[in-house]
Chains A and B, each alone.
Chain A
Amino acid sequence: MARAIAQRTGCELLTRRVLEDMVAADFGNREIPGRAWLPLLRSAIARLAVDRHVVFCLEGGEHLFHGFPGVLCVLVIAPPSRRIGAIMVERQLDREAAKRFLRERELEVLDERKRRFGRSHSRLHEFDLILNEQQQPPEMLAGVVEAAIRSHGLLDQGMLSAAAEAQVQFQARLQLAKYGLTPPDRAPTERNGFSHPSEEIFARLLDFYRIEWQYEPRSFPLQWDKDGHVMEAFTPDFFLPVFDLYVELTTMKQALVTKKNRKIRLLRTIYPHVNIQVFYQKDIQDLIVKYELAERASAH
């Protein structure tokens, strides 16, 4: 649903994984104390919010910007049957195993919320909007959130001002100092820029099916010189976390994909635990035929 809201409003989506990756990029494998997460996440989101509108989605997110102007805080609940069903399919578990998994996962989340934000449960009065997925499909609920965003004029208010961001960062630095952590000064400015229209179509297809994706999140070194410097690397186009799967799209003619195939074979040899699926030109062409995208694709 967060993805649908971001899509409808033109906001950038920050999932829990994206936010945790940002923290990991800043601090590497260093262990982050529980109570440092709140200022770290607040700092990371504020850095981005100065030049873009964002939708962020994570358990306990209501603690981050409670009372801030220009923020709409939404709680979405779903009946256990729906959540259990999703787990049965995602994890390929039977109903009883899925129920156990859900119980264990809920306990983990409560524990994590307690460690990071000091409270294990939400306070309902801290939300501007509470939605129930029991009867309404996510598409419709995303429409409700979009209407709330527009009626509050959030998209017209401009981004987070430099002064407000500086204030957030100042507070974050004060809070993080006792943990010996210093957040970076500047926001990462690059955004997903697809190098080919077929990648954009593929991303939209994933969005349509509510499948989380990351664009070129990781490069895999394939060859090194004698000093250990990377001589050759391969960066798959997409990573689909829910399937733990990398996807490479290639729009070159079949005869020209030999070099890329060699890299993929090498990747599979060096990183046998990495799952990668290659979509060749004819696969992409089939998608274009199947979804009647020809006019759209050729318009790019």
Chain B
Amino acid sequence: MNLPNALPPIERVLFTAEQIEERIREVGARISADYAGRELKLVAVLKGSVFFLTALARHITVPLRLDFLAISHFTNQPGAPGLVRLAKDLDDGIEGEHVLLVEDIVDTGFTTRYLLQNLAGRGPASLGICTLLDRTSRRLARTPINYSCFEIPERFVVGFGLDHKQLYRNLDCIAVIKPE
């Protein structure tokens, strides 16, 4: 396991690097089969999805393009943006393209719903979702997930792109952190 110098407050490892690699390979193969004969655009949501995106893209065999989005974050602080909005838009249009939104985690589904609404309005030929982690037990917004690598329990997890106060994204495993 690849740990940074300052040890994160890990309670237990949920998925090892090997398990993640194996599962992403399986999902990549499914995506390759489903999109056979078509070009695909992977749209990743910064920053958490970057690790998953690069791992996933290596296991997809159809021609693909990459693009990135970032959204503003809810902070509940006075003066903070009152509404979710795109902090970084796609570099290129997606009209007529087959688009797969790549997420690190789908939890309540609020963020994914917003992004889907935003992307669907741009006229893609198809629009799907692929997520590394899926926490269905906490889902409030109905979001049709096309590809999910792991279902996770109701615990706060870090690693493989997921952070806690912007730390621990670079863990090569996915781990539950100790409650503060």
Mutual binders A and B: yes
Q: Which residues of A contact B (CB under 8 A)?
A: 3-4, 7-8, 81-86, 88-90, 92, 95, 137-139, 142, 201, 204-205, 207-211, 240, 243, 245, 247, 277, 279-280, 282-283, 285-286, 289-294, 296
Question: With A92-B142, A211-B141, A286-B156 in contact, do A81 and B121 touch (Cβ < 8 Å)?
Answer: yes
B84 CB → nearest A CB, Å: 5
Q: Is B58 an interface residue (CB 8 A)?
A: no
Contact A285–B111 (Cβ < 8 Å): no
Q: A residues within 8 A CB of B113? A: 89, 209
Q: Would you list the 8 A-B pairs with minimal beta carbon distance, nearest first?
A: A85-B121, A85-B120, A82-B121, A209-B110, A208-B74, A88-B120, A89-B116, A89-B117
Contact A137–B116 (Cβ < 8 Å): no
Contact B121–A86 (Cβ < 8 Å): yes
Q: A residues within 8 A CB of B111? A: 209
Q: B residues within 8 A CB of A142? A: 82-83
Contact A208–B140 (Cβ < 8 Å): no
Q: A residues within 8 A CB of B144? A: 92
- Knowing that A201-B76, A208-B83, A280-B154 touch, tell me 19 more A-B residue pairs with CB under 8 angstroms: A8-B82, A82-B121, A85-B121, A88-B116, A88-B120, A89-B113, A90-B117, A95-B123, A137-B86, A142-B83, A204-B76, A205-B76, A207-B82, A208-B74, A210-B83, A210-B84, A279-B138, A285-B179, A289-B164
Contact B83–A4 (Cβ < 8 Å): yes
Q: B residues within 8 A CB of A137? A: 85-86
Report the separation of the CA atoms of residues A142 and B83 in the bound assembly, to the nearest whole angstrom. 10
Query: Considering only CB atoms, which chain A residue lies closest to B78 in the complex?
Result: A296
Q: B residues within 8 A CB of A292? A: 75, 165
Contact A85–B117 (Cβ < 8 Å): yes
Report the separation of the CA atoms of residues A89 and B127 in the bound assembly, to the nearest whole angstrom. 10
Which residues of chain B (40-94) have a CB below 8 Å from chain A? 73-77, 81-86
Interface of A is mostly: helix
Interface size on B, residues (CB 8 A): 37
Query: Considering only CB atoms, which chain B residue lies closest to A280 in the complex?
Result: B154
A-B contact count (CB 8 A): 100
Question: With A84-B121, A208-B82, A209-B110 in contact, do A291 and B74 touch (Cβ < 8 Å)?
Answer: yes
Q: A residues within 8 A CB of B114? A: 209-210
Query: Considering only CB atoms, which chain B residue lies closest to A93 in the complex?
Result: B120
Q: A residues within 8 A CB of B127? A: 88
Q: Is B30 an interface residue (CB 8 A)?
A: no
Contact B73–A291 (Cβ < 8 Å): yes
Report the separation of the CA atoms of residues A88 and B84 in the bound assembly, to the nearest whole angstrom. 19
Partner of A86, one of B75, B117, B123, B165: B117
Partner of A85, one of B110, B118, B164, B179: B118
Q: Is B119 an interface residue (CB 8 A)?
A: yes
Contact A282–B154 (Cβ < 8 Å): yes
Question: With A81-B122, A85-B118, A138-B83 in contact, do A243 and B154 touch (Cβ < 8 Å)?
Answer: no
Q: Is B34 an interface residue (CB 8 A)?
A: no
Partner of B83, one of A88, A139, A283: A139
B106 CB → nearest A CB, Å: 13
Contact B122–A277 (Cβ < 8 Å): no
Partner of A139, one of B85, B117, B138, B179: B85
Report the separation of the CA atoms of residues A88 and B125 in the bound assembly, to the nearest whole angstrom. 12
28 contacts between A and B (CB under 8 A): A3-B83, A8-B82, A81-B123, A85-B117, A85-B118, A85-B121, A85-B123, A88-B116, A89-B113, A92-B142, A92-B144, A137-B85, A138-B83, A138-B85, A142-B83, A204-B76, A205-B76, A207-B83, A208-B84, A209-B84, A209-B113, A210-B84, A243-B142, A245-B140, A285-B179, A286-B154, A289-B180, A296-B76
Partner of A247, one of B82, B140, B165: B140
Q: B residues within 8 A CB of A211? A: 110, 141
0/1 string, B168-179, CB within 8 A of A gives 1: 000000000001
Q: B residues within 8 A CB of A85? A: 117-123
Q: A residues within 8 A CB of B74? A: 204-205, 208-209, 291
Q: B residues within 8 A CB of A92? A: 142, 144
A246 CB → nearest B CB, Å: 10
